[in-house]
Structure 1
Amino acid sequence: MTTSILICDDSRMARNQLARCLPADWDVEIHFAEDGRHCLEVVQEVSPELIFLDLNMPEMDGYETLEEFREQEIDCDVIVVSGDIQPDAQTRVIGLGAIDFIKKPISPEKMLETLDSHCIFTSHANETPPAKSNFTPADLDDYGTFIDACQEIANIAMGRAGDSLARFLDVFVELPVPKVNQIELNELIMALQFAENESTVSSVCQGFIGPGLSGEALLIFNDSSFKNIAKIMKYQGEINENVELELLMDIANILVGACLQGISDQLDVNLSQGHPVVLGQHIKIPDLIAKNKQWKKTLSIEITYSIENKGVNCDLLILLTEDCIDTLKQRISYII
């Protein structure tokens, strides 16, 4: 008997990877959705028995989608597959009705183990290779496909960094959909989500290098967040520039280190990190960028981290030099 399955993820790369991890001896009909809103539409059309659901998506994220399932009394097993691996994220989705949580990237072995544990499917084959599919190889020379793949890698790395920060501060970190673009220096200011909303920022920069890869990671912290982050960290005393710098370095060490390690692990490269450098304190975004005119055309990964209900926001920018593109395509092709 054929089982109807829906895979909901905003990344085509992630959707195809998950589909390939389904057991080869399982008779399934696979449907796809690109976000939560699209997911609800497909559910009405095909009534799937099992949904694999991502969390960080545009339009409607995984949390909102689960809430809609409950509101509309949609009776379907849901397994969340996400790069957001915070303990609280896992607890929340189970509380919203998901039957399980799997962290990205998923493997065929983990897929089979999860399906078997919930009595959804038990393989009778001696081996469990990925399911056969008629997917064509991804064309990474296509700009959209390349950006989609980079965004999925950034999504997983973002989740690891968010988890590290959440555990360090004992908070819940709200994670966005990473923004990935090839941009010019004069476009970099516009790429920053809170550039127009915050009058001044403070920033730390940390260079990194590996085989065929090099770039810089920037943590840009809005100045209004310092008092709130100090409160979270139970700091006692006057919050002066030295204290702000210490707090900035603490957050930078956690987010930059974990994010770059997440990228390294996925691409199977070793990235060496340089010493962090303060780019400026209490300055405007245009002045910050103007100080660093060595950034010309770059592949920019922008992640905005927000601590839930705490008034703390910061931007993490991973800027890779243009000559890294060929290496990135080669490394990503191994993953795909």
Structure 2
Amino acid sequence: MSLIPLLVCDDSNMARKQLLRALPVDWAVSVTQATNGREGLEAIRRGEGEIVLLDLTMPEMDGYEVLAAMRAEGLSSRVIVVSGDVQEEAVRRVMALGALAFLRKPADPQELADTLKRLGLLGAPGVPPVPVASLAETTVGFRDAFRETVNVAMGRAAALLARVLKVFVQLPVPNVNILEVGELHMALADAQRGERLTAVCQGYIGEGIAGEALLIFHDSEVADMARLMRWSSSEYSEMEMLLDLSSVLIGACLSGIAEQIDVVFSQSHPQVLGAHAGLDDLIQVNQRRWKKTLAVEISYSLEGHDIHFDLLLLFTEDSVELLSHKLAHVMN
């Protein structure tokens, strides 16, 4: 009996592990894993991906580029996209590029099984089971596990932002690092690129997991953002517009993380930090309170507009152990 070549293509160890655990236990497949789109495309060319479970946000080559290359080369793999980017436009684009279905991360085992069955991809009944669970037993490190958690939350926040602004939000692979405050200073310096910045700051805490979110705008882009937000009233200032936008984006991202780790975050009121200020003013608040931080950086871009802004989630040192405990069930 021949096995169906299945390719799982995702840059996150945790995401691949979750997908492998979600596969039907009696599905007769041979599994190949790829850590980015370029690796995935090469595996498809080798015939290792008759069926492909494909992520969208990846380094080297993203899922959109993989689908476009498959179409250009006439590759006939059957693709199901499994992504944290749940924007309506993202779904429309991948289906237009030839994907057969779209599932949101983390994939629900029953939804995945139903989708495979609906598409006729499970094979004939009575096929002897071939266990794939052993492939999903690798240990996942904290940084990878938390990066994937942020990736899912980032996608949900982007979907909300896309609806509010009526744009397509281009998503990066989020950066997750434990930084000394001095290193954070350098990271912000890189984000600044010689421009003046305006940042909105909002604190959060839940079950001892605490930190601050910084949404950083380049001053040159604030007016463009205001136009997108349909800011026109003289009684509605640019600062109020930024506070409203920050509440939407920060709140949605924190909510997405909280849902996955089963906590409820209480959030302080957002406030403008260092309006029209340089870098040094932005770092002073955190420098007085802790020496290290678990820093999450997400750089959003709006397609068709020269608008980019950075969301930094800065978790306290004490939060790392608590987050590790919350993620233990997916890391092991």
TM-score, scaled relative to structure 2: 0.92
Partner of 2:292: 297
Q: Does 1:231 align with 2:231?
A: no
Q: Does 1:286 align with 2:287?
A: no
Q: Is the 8 A contact 1:112 1:123 kept in 2?
A: no
Q: What's the offset of the Cα at 1:41?
A: 1.6
Partner of 2:304: 309
Q: Is the 8 A contact 1:174 1:307 kept in 2?
A: yes
Q: Could you say what secondary structure the match of 2:134 adopts?
A: coil
Aligned equivalents of 1:135 and 1:95: distance in 2?
Answer: 31
Partner of 1:142: none
Alignment of 1:106-255 (within 5 A): 106-121=107-122, 132-138=133-139, 145-192=141-188, 195-236=191-232, 243-255=237-249
Q: What's the offset of the Cα at 1:193?
A: 8.2
Once superposed, what is the RMSD of the aligned Cα atoms?
2.1
The Cα offsets for residues 88-145 of structure 1, whole Å up to 9 and x where unpaired, read as 00000001111111000111101101101111117969xx9x9532443525xxxxx2
Partner of 1:262: 256
Q: Could you say what secondary structure the match of 1:46 adopts?
A: coil
Q: Is the 8 A contact 1:207 1:216 kept in 2?
A: yes
What is the letter of the counterpart of residue 38 of structure 2?
R
The Cα offsets for residues 243-301 of structure 1, whole Å up to 9 and x where unpaired, read as 22111111101111000000000001111111112211111223311343224201001
Q: Could you say what secondary structure the match of 2:178 adopts?
A: strand
Alignment of 1:311-326 (within 5 A): 311-326=306-321
Structure 1 gaps of 5+ residues are: 140-144
Aligned equivalents of 1:178 and 1:193: distance in 2?
Answer: 18
Q: What's the offset of the Cα at 1:325?
A: 1.4
Q: What's the offset of the Cα at 1:182?
A: 0.1
Deviating 4+ runs (over 4 angstroms): 122-125
TM-score, scaled relative to structure 1: 0.91
Aligned equivalents of 1:104 and 1:224: distance in 2?
Answer: 35
Q: What's the offset of the Cα at 1:191?
A: 2.5
Q: Is the 8 A contact 2:17 2:138 kept in 1?
A: no
Q: Percent identity between the aligned chains?
A: 46
Aligned equivalents of 1:264 and 1:208: distance in 2?
Answer: 11
Aligned equivalents of 2:136 and 2:78: distance in 1?
Answer: 25
The Cα offsets for residues 138-160 of structure 1, whole Å up to 9 and x where unpaired, read as 25xxxxx2111111001001001
Structure 2 gaps of 5+ residues are: none
Partner of 2:61: 60
What is the letter of the counterpart of residue 251 of structure 2?
G
Q: Is the 8 A contact 2:44 2:77 kept in 1?
A: no
Aligned equivalents of 2:285 and 2:112: distance in 1?
Answer: 48
